[in-house]
Amino acid sequence: MYGITSKDLKKLQSLQNRAARIVFRLDRRHSSAPLLRELHWLPLESRIVFKLMLLAYKGIHGLLPSYLTEYLIPYVPSRENLRSGDDKLRLAIPRTKRTLGDKAFTAAAPRLWNSLPIHIRQLPSIHRFKKSLKTHLFPTC
């Protein structure tokens, strides 16, 4: 669902908001933002990013099938002594010719993974990774 149109994303987000109101047995007049926060539900766009990053984490740590891990290629700098070369958990981002290719797992997962703070990428357990990632993605408002 990564790269879904904003129109479709808005429709799906309204469904999630409605589901939160159903859980709390509230009507349409109540704002869904505090309800989502109380339920610890990420907004849909953040949830999609969460799932992609979780797949990337599992792939890097050998917890995914090989047909997915082969798309997660470690970054190797073209020159020596670059600061980016110090980051061993960085992934190579393949070049794509179209925006549709940017939405594919092969390009989206490495790009999102590299945008994560390094202290989250270095977490040793999947439980701590998921908890830190969710905290990182949760809206502050």
What are the pLDDT digits (tens) for 32-49?
Answer: 999 999 999 999 999 999
Please report the pLDDT score of residue 68 as a whole number: 86
Domain segments of the chain as ranges: 1-41, 42-137
Asked whether 59 and 138 are in contact (CB, 8 A), the reply is no
Strand partners, 91: 74
Instruction: Quick: pLDDT tens for 79-131.
Output: 665 555 456 788 888 887 776 667 788 888 899 999 999 999 999 999 999 99
Q: What is the CA radius of gyration of the chain?
A: 18
pTM beyond cutoff 0.95: no
Q: Give the pLDDT of residue 85.
A: 46
